[in-house]
Structures are given as structure tokens and as C-alpha cells.
Structure 1
């Protein structure tokens, strides 16, 4: 699933983080799981997480020794969508070519 369209006009890494978190809304993800899912450098991931946290688009829950990151409710679409359903040509190109 993808984050709502109104939250997709952000940096590429931030959108990738939101999409990964929306896929695992109930379970959340650790930083290591996010890094593997998003496939970016740790510094870029930290910057994206900090920005998303400042904008209140993610929630961090500490459970024991691990912190789980979940998307804010307003980011999660009401109805599930697939990535190809509403992907524009610009999104398609952006996914395939590093800009």
C-alpha cells in the first residue's frame, strides 16, 4: 500500500519510508527493517525520520529495548491501493532512475 497522495509531495526517501510504514501499519518497523525496505544510507534515513517526526507523520513507540516506528493514522489510506493503480509516469520514472 502507498501513503495518501497528499503526503507524497516530499523528498524521495521520506515517501519511501511512509510507503514502507503504511505496508506494516499494525506491526510497525524498526530502523533496521526500514533501512532494508527503503534501501538508503543510514544518514539519509535518519534525516527522513527526523523530518517525518517533526511533521507528526510518524509515531515512535518504545517497547522494551526496541523502538517501533508506525505511520500516523492520517497517512494511511482508507482503502488499500496497489502501487500501479495511481502511479503517474513521473513516479514510474523516479522509481527507475535516480534523480
Structure 2
């Protein structure tokens, strides 16, 4: 591993990021908040997770989820993201 220029720590981080990326696009995890996905994939905070994710994939977790939702649900982000619509006034 180290001969190839990759440490075990880097490999584990890569696997955690790939797992998180996959979960962001799976329907079963649509309503799961980003901070919970961060925790479930071993990150200490949503901020650390978002920073690492953006550095690796070039987009934030929220941006990826929104883009995927827009593609799969014809733009119905409220339904896709598991969010409630804003209250009526």
C-alpha cells in the first residue's frame, strides 16, 4: 500500500467517502440528514464530512443529492429529499 503511495488511513477514508456518496443517491437514504450520513460513515462532524466530500468529488453532499434528485424525480426536490414543504401563511 505505502509503496503505491497510499496509506491505510487514506484507503479507509476513500472507502468511507464512496459509501457516503452511494448512500446519498440511494432511495432508502433519501430522508436521512447529511449529518447522520456523516456520522454513520465515520466522520466526526457534518462540516468535516462536507469538506472531505467536496475535496474528493468536487461537489458538496447536498449538491450531489439535489442533482441526483432532480434527475430521478423530475425536479420534485421536496419529495426526493424527504423534506416538508414550507408552511403556508
TM-score range, shorter chain: 0.3 to 0.5
Structure with more of its chain in strand, by fraction: 1
TM superposition score normalised by structure 1: 0.35
Larger radius of gyration: 2
Question: Relative contact order (alpha carbons < 8 A, sep ≥ 6): 1 or 2 greater?
Answer: 1
Structure with more of its chain in helix, by fraction: 2
TM superposition score normalised by structure 2: 0.37
